[in-house]
Amino acid sequence: MMQISSDSVGNKHSLINVMHRFIAATNNMDETIMVPSLLRDMPLDEQQANNNNEPPCSNKQRDMYEHYLLLKSIKNDMEWGLLKREVSSGASFLEMAVKQEEQQAAKGDMHVDDNADLQHQFHYHLRGLFGVLSKLTMQADHLTNRYKREIGGGNFMR
């Protein structure tokens, strides 16, 4: 098993730290929200909750419950992996990754020079992952705090 050095965990800018913060925020959200069904039909955007004439944004979840489920699903995917169904069918992760690359190459999506800028691709996706995980962490914290305000339990909960 791969060991994680204490230096990388202690660095607030490490990917591992950002992942831990998201998982902790989602765990806190899950522990705080005792009755998730109460989130149904509660608009995600507080401004929208105050102005019911405004149509909901189509690219966002419709209510806090759907957002709660999305955050839990992402956390689950991070902890257990995206390919848990495929892995249980017998194929290894490496075999599936190679098969996927072969399918992309057959479609013409792969270029001969892809290996030349792997470092650039890595940094591009790493920046994206940092940004997404930071936003998801803030959303989990926001959902938790909003639930406390809406339910009125902010004073006796953590």
CA separation for the pair 48, 28 (Å, rounded): 25
pLDDT tens-digit profile of 114-145? 666 888 999 999 999 999 999 999 999 999 99
DSSP conformation class of 90? T
Write the pLDDT tens digit of every residue in 36-60: 999 998 887 765 555 444 444 444 5
Sequence spans of domains, the chain:
6-151
Contact 42, 63 (CB under 8 A): yes
| Residues in the chain, overall count | 158
> Would you state the pLDDT for residue 124?
94
- First-residue to last-residue Cα distance in the chain: 35
Buried b (16+ CB within 10 A) or exposed e, 50-75: eeeeeeeeeeebeebbebbeebbebb
Half-sphere exposure of 29 toward its Cβ, with a 13 Å CA cutoff?
Answer: 29
Asked if pLDDT for residue 157 goes beyond 50, the answer is no
Give pLDDT, residue 56: 43
Q: What is the pLDDT at residue 10?
A: 63
C-alpha–C-alpha distance, residues 134 and 136, integer Å: 5
pLDDT computed for residue 24 by the predictor? 97
Tens digits of per-residue pLDDT, 55-105? 444 445 578 999 999 999 999 999 988 765 555 555 555 556 667 767 776
The band of 19, judged by pLDDT with boundaries at 50, 70 and 90, is very high
Helical axes 64-80 vs 118-151, angle rounded to 10°? 140
Task: Give the number of other Cβ atoms within 10 Å of residue 139's Cβ.
Answer: 19
